[in-house]
Structure 1
Amino acid sequence: MYFKRKELEKFRSFKGPLIDVRSPSEYYKGHMPNSINIPLFDNDERIIIGTIYKKEGRKKAVIEGLKFFEKKIEFFLDNLFMSIDSYKNFPDNNKNELFIRIYCSRGGMRSQSIAWLLEKYKLNPIILKRGYKTYRRWILDCFSKKWNIVIIGGKTGSGKTRLLSLLEKYKYQTIDLEGFACHRGSTFGGLGMKEQPSNEQFENEIAEKLYSFKTNNNIFVEAESANIGKCKIPHEFFNQMKKSRRIEILRSESNRLNELIDTYSVFTKEELKNSVQRIKKRLGPQRTKIALESIDEEKWDLVCRSVLDYYDRCYEYEKVGKENITLLDLTDKNYDEKILELINNVL
């Protein structure tokens, strides 16, 4: 049976809801951003069908799959049509050129089955040829391309993340690695953040952002270690970061303390104490004691001062963009559009 199968680049060009019909565990490990998971089989059913396929062949696996799907077809279609209706409700979407984009692992039976079903409802299904596997090859190839990276560096509390957000606001090309990782890259980095994505999904989000950029223009990235929480920056991209130009932000200690206080004083005392306890061996007993007592007394300047020395010592080991550094003194300056002129002058 013939279905509209498209190579990745063409598949991406079509407008319409993007449906991932793989199991929830496959989807969690990694998926195309903005896709909706409407699984044909749940995690256990997928394992059962896979086992039958290996032991008894394709025909019996298909029959078993049909038995599972028969029980849930109404629920599946309800979710599918709900996703289609939701897509149509966005004002900018052209309802007359609507395609239902479907992918599974390899562009095989799962996506073909759903495409066949949608055709019966006079809809326009498009299958991703070779499925998510080809998408992942594209993701990994993306990081091997040459990117014109500019590193934003500076000690903890320099306001690097705020500067990156300002650049993004004014349409500069930026990659917020900490945002994609849902972690600030430090002992306190997980506070107030969502659950971290899988490493594979972290890579997918970065590559999709890179895909939207003009290759020759600067891409601003905050200086990071190779690991941000449990997420690891793609090896090829991190190697480019290490050799990139670096703008080193200089701020006074009082500026940095105020930045840390604004960032962390909003969290509960218990959360802050737990974070301090994780680095007590490196802080030493005296600084740990001061930090914990200061949290109880809400003396945020003392809390931040207690850990600032620890952060500064860690900073000496940072290796990103250390070969070509330009210093930029932003002491006591407001982080507004006027700073962009200073950034442009040092590029």
Structure 2
Amino acid sequence: MIKNITVQEFFNLTTMVALADVRTPAEYQHGHVPGAFNLPLFSNEERVLVGTTYKQIGREQAILLGFDLTGPKWSGFIQDALLMAPGKKIGVHCWRGGMRSGAMAWALDLYGFEVYLIEGGYKHYRRWVLNQFEKPYHLLTLGGMTGSGKTRILQEMEMSGAQMIDLENLAQHQGSSFGSMNKMLQPTQEQFENNLAAKLNNLNHDRSIWVEDESHNIGKLSVPNAFWDQMTSAVLIDLKVELDQRVSALVKEYGQLDKDFLVACTERIGKRLGPVQTRQAVEAIREDRMEAFIRLVLVYYDKSYRNSLIRRNSDQVFSMKLTGDPMKNTAEQILEFINTIPAGRI
């Protein structure tokens, strides 16, 4: 049985159903529904060939060529689908809900699958993704100077029951010039948006959602404008952590990284850091004086953070000094602090 279904209806299904993306591997890699698996009807090269035939000769010849190309593959398609959906319930989509997904749905239905055919395909899904960022959310933003432990604190808060979106994890980047940590590979902008939309869809919109105070750009990626606007207008809890504690935390986090990587990252912010400070920071890296290096670059990052606070509505910024180790037992402190803010201000 084939059932036509919207994107939202598919996500609202009460049981988990595997989702097959029958577009080419290149299309899938550029951006896909989180959790979907690739079951490409055509290879990248075959897709180009069919498209060219469609444009230059016509639809019927393109269909015949498609059958010629896929003829030997159908058994493999079904076997791959069985691996991912052994219960024989599966969702299928292509780019626009056209011939590719229709052909795959027909074959799977013929074999005995219960098939959910996504109306409008990936194109409608992308429209759904962008709509998620337009929805109103009750955001709370956790800020603080570099080294305040914001990400780890948010993770602790999530374990305590708070809702949280880790934008840096979704972007695979920690935000600064050093943010790739010399190992993280960022997704495409499209995939970042898809992952963020999926996270938002899975949260309870009647409850507060915590996010870290981020720049608009996280590495090479950008936070979607509509969601970014909500972040910048949300209440911000500005954590106050002693400089020595921040330096110590950053030395542990960055001190073991490759020196050439640290030098290259430092030189990228050389104009903003200043020629003297850049030279001193590079020398400190080369001489393994990591505390001195951290203190030098923090001058720049602390100034940038202070400037970002100035641009915010002061009525929405609440400072909170953490007591003790900022990496431990902070969730309760912050959640208690939130309860002290007047209801009309949050």
Question: 1:100 and 1:268 mapped to 2: Cα distance?
Answer: 45
Q: Does 1:142 align with 2:142?
A: no
8 Å CA contact retained: 2:17, 2:89? yes
User: Does residue 58 of structure 2 align to residue 57 of structure 1?
Assistant: yes
Kindly report which structure 2 residues correspond to 1:81-96, keeping only aligned pairs within 5 A, or say none: 81-85=82-86, 95=87
Which residue is equivalent to 1:92? none
CA distance in 2, matches of 1:105, 1:16: 19
CA distance in 2 between counterparts of 1:113 and 1:176 reads 39
CA distance in 2, matches of 1:53, 1:336: 62
| Residues 2, 109 of structure 2: 8 Å contact kept | no
Distance 1:344 1:134, change over 3 A: farther
Counterpart of 2:104 (choices 95, 109, 114) is 114
Mapping of residues 1-347 of structure 1, within 5 Å: 3-12=2-11, 13=13, 14-85=15-86, 95=87, 98-318=88-308, 322-323=313-314, 324-347=316-339
Which has the higher mean CA deviation after the structures are superposed, 124-133 or 248-257?
124-133
In structure 1, distance between residues paired with 2:135 and 2:319: 28
Per the TM alignment, residue 71 of structure 1 is displaced from its structure 2 partner at its CA by 4.4
Comparing 248-257 with 169-178, greater Cα deviation is found at: 169-178
RMSD across aligned C-alpha pairs, in angstroms? 2.0
**Aligned-pair CA distance for 1:48:** 1.9
TM-score (norm 1): 0.90
Instruction: Determine the structure 1 residue equivalent to 2:342.
Output: none
- Shift in CA distance, 75/192, structure 1 to aligned 2, threshold 3 Å: farther
- 269-278 or 319-328, which moves further after superposition? 319-328
1:241-268 deviations in Å (ceiling 9; x for gaps): 1111010000111011012112111211
Displacement after TM superposition at 1:289 (Å): 2.4
Amino acid of the structure 2 residue aligned with 1:26:
E
Unaligned runs of 5+ in 2: 340-346
Give the Å deviation of 1:334: 4.2
Contact 2:173/2:186 (8 A) holds in 1: yes
Give CA-to-partner distance per residue, 1:116-166, whole Å, 9 cap, x none: 211232222221111112211111111111110111111111111111111
| Equivalent position of 1:89 in the other structure | none
Q: What CA distance in whole angstroms lies between the structure 2 residues aligned with 1:345 and 1:25?
A: 48
Answer whether contact 1:182 1:193 (CA < 8 A) is retained: no
Contact residue 251 and residue 329 of structure 1 kept, 8 A: yes
In 2, the alpha carbon distance for the partners of 1:107 and 1:175 equals 31
Deviation readout 1:278-333 (Å, 9 max, x if unpaired):
12222223222222222223221011011111111222332675441111101543
Asked whether the 8 Å contact 1:226–1:232 carries over to 2, the reply is yes
- Per the alignment, do residues 285 and 331 of structure 1 end up closer, same or farther by CA in structure 2, a change over 3 Å counting? farther
Number of matched pairs: 335
Quick one: distance in 2 between partners of 1:113 and 1:342?
54
The structure-2 alpha-carbon separation of the partners of 1:208 and 1:176, relative to structure 1 and needing over 3 Å to count, comes to: same
Per the normalisation by structure 2, the TM-score is 0.90
Give the partner amino acid of 1:83: M
Structure 1 contact 192–267 (Cα < 8 Å) conserved: yes
Which residue identity lines up with residue 3 of structure 1 in the other structure?
I
Equivalent position SS for 1:102: strand
The CA distance in 1 between the partners of 2:328 and 2:26, in whole Å, is: 43
Contact 1:107 1:129 in 2 (8 A): yes
Given that 1:19 and 1:100 are in contact with CA atoms closer than 8 Å, whether structure 2 keeps it comes out as yes
Aligned identity (percent) is 37
Given that 1:22 and 1:41 are in contact with CA atoms closer than 8 Å, whether structure 2 keeps it comes out as yes
Cα deviation for residue 194 of structure 1 reads: 2.7
| Rounded Cα–Cα distance in structure 1 between residues aligned with 2:118 and 2:280 | 58
Kindly state the Cα deviation for residue 222 of structure 1 after the two structures are TM-superposed. Answer: 0.5
Q: Is the 8 A contact 1:246 1:322 kept in 2?
A: no
